[in-house]
Amino acid sequence: MKRLLPFFVVFIMMFAILFSFGQAAKKGPIVDTILVDVRMQEDIGLKDTAEGKTDIFFWGVQGNVFKALPENVKSKLDVYRIPSGTWSININSYPHKAPYIAKVENKEQFNPFAIQKVRFALNWLINRKYIIDEILGGDGEPMFTMATPGQPGTYRYNLIASKLGMKATGDEAKAIKDITDALTEASNLPELKGKLVKKDNFWYFNNEPVTIKFLIRVDDPNGRLRSGRYIADQIEKAGIKVERLEWDRRKAITTSYYSNPADMKWHLYTEGWGAGSTRQWWELIIAQMYAPWYGYMPGGADPANWNYENAELDDLTKKLVNGQFATEQEYWDIALKSIEIALKEAMRIYICSQEQYYVVNKDKFIDRMAYGVGDGMNHWSLRTADIKPDRSGRKVLRMTEFSAKGALFMSSWDPIGVDGFADVYSRVLMEPMRDFGTFESPYSAETMMWRVKWDPKNIETKVVKDKDGNLVGQIPVPENAIWYNSATKKWEPVGKGKTSFSKGTYSFVYSKYHNGHQEKLADILYSIRFSVEWATKDGDNDKYYDDQYSSQIKPGLDIIKGIVINKDGTITTYFDYNWPMEKARVASAGAFWTPLTPWPIYEALADLVANGNAKSKTVYSFTAGGEGVVEPDLLNETCVQDILARLEEFKAKKYIPFGMESYINEKDAIVAYDLAINWIRKYNHAFISDGPFYLHKYDPKSNQMELRAYRDASYPYDPYYWKKLLVGMRMRINKITLPQTLDKNKPTTITVNVSVINYPKDTAVDADKGNVKAILVLPDGKEKVYIGKFTAKGVFTITIPAGDTKELSAGSYVLVIEAQYGNEAPAVETTFLVFF
């Protein structure tokens, strides 16, 4: 035995070394498998999570639903409480002009919401506080704009609402008077004289009650159903009859967002939104929720529909989204002007935010997962989920979604059309299977590098203003820089004399797609080429063009002045984008990454849409909702077989997408087609991407999906990479103490109690340092900032000198408290100083 011992020890050591190397080489996520199913009732989803029938209920429920659970159920749940949901009312204003009459099937209809004063009055007709207290059980905040209360910078938007006289309790008498006055004024128009009359407390048009169709989500019985019924009752108090269309999500969404507003199938819709991400800046959401160009307003930017138009709002929000401003102050000037226009137009009325409760089984997880502090559970949660292994040593995560109708998805898995992956249900499953070029941190909201890398020293911005006040770039664009020309179908030099605001040089972290397709520079160039092709209209008969796609994509493409492909495989981008508040945000605007799926899938879909002749005879369109056309769907069996047939045709022809001849040869094209074809034949779907999970199985009949870990050696991240990276400390404001009596002739001392929260563990201790400040908003809109002083653990004091308040008139003044531990998005609370 003594002679064998050294050999045994050496063997064990070698095994340990080999095992450790094997462990170090493991790539992909922490969990091995995600099993997805659906519950059709929220309370059942919560209880099944507590009982261990599922591990995570991937749905934020309202506070009153969670609080109604028995204590023995709640005790088994780990809760992530996030202010991540919002409610709003979408409004159909067709025809948006006097005499406010729509003709439907040769019959005239009067639309009261075509009148701006009637839409605007809804802000006073709706008692937001009632909805929060009685329907949400206190778990929410009133909202007047798209900006979630408590998030950084949002108080400025809400000040616009305050200046317009809006308040949480509303003013029913004022609203009814304003609506009555507006309709009375309309009734005196020559076209409406004698046709629009009021009798028996209701308005009539052509001897029929003026009636609006209100789409109310029946599949949200504890929330939007009750809220919609309350709002309907309020509208009838103003003399307008309401047809309550209590429909499920698919029918309501299809009608509200995809029907032609001129067909008058709806007037109002009870919208619900997830926050989407944690953010410090809101310009994209301003555009999304208020500007016609983005495609979320009535008509959806579909040229076949009547569309709400507002050229000024389009112009302002494009400047914001595309970095067309010189200073932070100019950013705020444009943003606040946009909000004022949007609030007065009243095409979308925000109601409230929601505190939502996400739950997991407390005993199943080793540690808490990452989540968005402003949007709740998301793909970072699944990338960092660390569940206890089963008896075989595998980590299997059972994930449950909620759907009152039992379906997993509302929107198509369309990687191209703007309506693809448009619902939270599909995005939470797509995004863990996709890696992106850059990202915003889920807890700090900082712009960070992902698959696209850059050296901050190589990000440069130079701008000046010309005599007309327009921003002009000062960086020369090399004449050999190239850009895709959709008319000639070629990459061409941009030529002499061009300048740009900014430039950046980027390298890329490539891997193989799930089907083995190796990402490389050609994939990035194809992605650019595809976007330009389908966003640019080259003549009236351009088959490779989509209006909705162009409306949303082209403004971002127009800022690009050209790219230079460097010998080392990096790309230098020249682009008109300025963001003086954050250099990384500038860098992100010039970054490109590979398509969501390999280029052969994109090309097959494009050809099916442009040239038709699908194997199934289906007519496809990237614009959803058109009559007689179907949106592509990478999970739909018929569409998948049409894609497969087109790929086989491409392979037989040795087809290379036009414009890509210099970057893709016949051999590489055939390999790419074979990989896509083999994948479809094996898995019976066409969703292929490059993230840590791949789609192993989808069963639409049982509404079940199975995601498996992508362990290929080419994948760049090991299982615990993101869990280690996405940790940090952030501040929470626990209490703000003001003097019992305020005397503007004396200094005002404010005490702020703060904690430091360990993210994502969510443990709290009294703050030992940090930055706390108060912002006093003056009547002229100017702000005065006061820096807090650390006085004890967890306590900061702020003093406003008497010299700053003694000249103020009696009244109420907004006071914003911000607290920040490091570089994360600050915690924000708003209160008021009332001087008599």
**Tokens (6 digits) for 778:** 């003056």
CATH architecture assignment, domain 727-835: Sandwich (2.60)
CA dist., res. 680 & res. 641, Å (int): 8
**263 with 300: CB under 8 angstroms?**
no
3-state DSSP assignment of residue 177: helix
- At residue 12, the pLDDT reads 39
Phi, psi of 176 (to 5 degrees): -65, -40
Burial class for 413, CB neighbours closer than 10 Å (0-12, 13-18, 19+): buried
What top-level class would CATH report for the domain 83-278?
alpha beta
Using CA atoms of 244, 245, 248, 254 in order, give the dihedral in degrees to the nearest 10: -130
Please state, in angstroms and rounded to a whole number, the distance separating the CA atoms of residues 594 and 508. 10
Same topology, domains 83-278 and 727-835? Answer is: no
Convert the pLDDT of each residue in 223-265 to its tens digit: 999 999 999 999 999 999 999 999 988 889 889 998 999 999 9
Break the chain into its structural domains and give their ranges: 1-56+377-407+692-726, 83-278, 435-589, 727-835
Q: How many other C-beta atoms lie within 10 A of the C-beta of residue 654?
A: 12
What pLDDT, on the 0 to 100 scale, is given for residue 628? 86
Q: What is the per-residue pLDDT for 758?
A: 94
Give the chain's end-to-end CA distance (angstroms, integer): 94
Residue 158 CB neighbour total at 10 angstroms: 20
SS3 state at 728: strand
Q: Fill in the DSSP letter of residue 654.
A: T
- List of the chain residues with pLDDT < 70: 1-24, 404-407
Q: What is the CA radius of gyration of the chain?
A: 28
The tokens of 511 are what? 């891997």
Asked whether the beta carbons of 216 and 245 are under 8 A apart, the reply is yes
Burial of 740 (0-12, 13-18, 19+ CB in 10 A): exposed
Write the DSSP assignment of 256-300 as a string of letters: IIIS-GGG-S-SEEEEEEE--S--S--HHHHHHHH-GGGT-STTT
| Pairing of the two strands 771-777 and 763-766 | unpaired
pLDDT at 16: 41
Residue pLDDT, tens place only, 530-579? 999 999 999 999 999 999 999 999 999 999 999 999 999 999 999 999 99
Q: How far is CA 278 from CA 62, 281, 375, 596, 821, in A?
A: 20, 9, 6, 22, 17
For residue 406, the model assigns a pLDDT of 61
Q: Are 616 and 645 in contact (CB under 8 A)?
A: no
Amino acid residing at 415:
P
Looking at residue 438, its pLDDT comes to 97
Separation of alpha carbons 171 and 298, rounded Å: 27
* Rounded-to-integer distance, Cα 402 and Cα 408, Å: 8
List of residues 6+ apart from 44 with CB closer than 8 A: none
Please tell me the predicted confidence (pLDDT) of residue 567: 96
